[in-house]
Structure 1
Amino acid sequence: MASGLFALFDDVAALVRLSAASLDDIGAAAGRAGVKAAGVVVDDAAVTPRYVQGLEPKRELSIIWRIAKGSIRNKLLIILPAILLLSQFLPFLLTPILMVGGAYLCYEGAEKLWEKVSGHHPEETAAAEDTTTDPAEHEKTVVSGAVRTDFILSAEIMVIALNEVDTEPFLSRAIILVVVAVLITALVYGVVGLIVKMDDAGVALAAKPSKGVAALGRGLVKAMPVVLSTLATVGVAAMLWVGGHILLVGAEELGWTWPYDLVHHVEVAVHDATGGLGGVLGWLTNTALSAVVGVVVGAVVVAVLHLVPKRGGKAAAH
């Protein structure tokens, strides 16, 4: 999916260069911004299909469309103006805000790991306890919950993107962020639409008289759980890597340089020791160490949010 994102930004670069010579670097800048936001994009695409599980198949695309419209409103009408004003008048706050977003990514990734290990899934429990009988009201609740979650993820995407283009002129920044917002929203919800309809398409193909087409349909149905599981796993890994990397780079920019210096030193050592594969292995080393940072920070936040309240409740009971 990341390669598709990069290709989209390449197309945007070509169109922008044709339409405005003074903004030649906008496409490339949007591409850089989109790449850095890829971890959140994967998570967004992994989270959203859960909201339509258990609903009538004929309503799935309609609900995804409503969530997508809420997402683009979040990005363009609320988040974009806020961060543009922030970057123009209070730019020194961008790094701390970005680090807060990075810590949230680490928390999200670590919490998903904890849920997998502990077997406790709050979302599934909440869904099982939902006794709403009015389908329209239930859909409204689903869409509202998805748009609220999307707001957090969208804010992270936009701040990460802004951090990559904060040296651009104000107008260029605005255009780049609009491009990122529109394309990422289209990418995420386009992919989500394909994912949630994959099993329906498979069922339809499986009923065809052609053995080859029927086999393809059965394969699609069987592949659906694998696709969702893989997407969820990649999403967790991406959140931990991107979140950890944001914290390392942010700490360096704020003057606490030794954590990133250590990671960079190990990366360079691996690069120099592995010859022709040095570039790839060096990058993988940086990514792995960033993910370790993400796991550690996320685990601390999960412990504080989950264990401390429980201990406080027990103490109050005694």
Structure 2
Amino acid sequence: MAFSRLRRTFPALGKPPARSAGSAGDWKTALVFLTPWLLGMVLLTALPMIGSAILSFTSYDLLSPPRWVGTANYQRLLTRDPRYLQSLEVTTVYVLVSVPLSVAVALIIAVSLSATTRTANFFRGVFYLPSLLGGSVAIGVLWRQLFGSTGLVNSVLAAFGVQGTSWIGDPNYALGTLILLHVWQFGAPMVIFLAGVRQIPKEVVEATIMDGANPVQRFFRITLPLLSPLILFNLVMQTITAFQAFVPAYVVSDGSGGPVDSTLFYTLYLYLEGFRNFRMGYAMAMAWILLFIIGAFTALAFWASRFWVHYES
């Protein structure tokens, strides 16, 4: 009864809100702005992925029409191609060693540079610079000169009476030089960690200082738990980047993956099969396996994060 009385007093009560004159065209406006993204997604991502998936089941040399071979490419990759297994092993070692090292170095440098000083901004820029240059061909050439038999590294060692070796020509050290190159490019995760460190509440830090915690204890009990979401993010992004590494191995090994296939990265072998041996269908199969490998590593990282990543909620 009370509600009926209110409706008689206020006739508009209980009626749906009137739509504005321009609301009917809102979705059209949104569609206009989304069209470039939709076209890019369809033409540059979805259709090429569908095409590569189809080609992975064919024998295709870029010159003649594709010939359907079913799962023959995948069977050969997993059972009859030792170079493929070697590239998978090399890339896995590269990822498992270089990614944790680069994230750890980035975290330590970020914490060290988190204080507001006159020189902090200068050193942040200096440490970030390798990330801008590290993926270029020029840095790959420079790295080859540094670690060559007559390079700067051996010259420095000779000054201390140590006999060096051809680091990039020795299969025992060649992959290590590329791992060192990846670790050297820690600038991007460092910037992300810097932003996270600056968001740590000062009250929490001051409370731990008053309780007598030293810098090491504050790092492991305050900084690490609060930065764990950023550590997960950087680990995932660095893992994806490391699996896709191509330029360093191509430049340092002259595009062969040597010596003795010790730097035969997955993407490098994919390139060799697709564009040198003209087995594009075979290369497409490798690309799809790499996609599933990266997806598996990413899923594993998110699954394991429940045990060590701490969120504010």
**Bigger Rg over Cα:** 2
Fold in common (TM above 0.5) = no
TM-score of the superposition, structure 1-length normalised?
A: 0.35
TM-score of the superposition, structure 2-length normalised?
A: 0.35
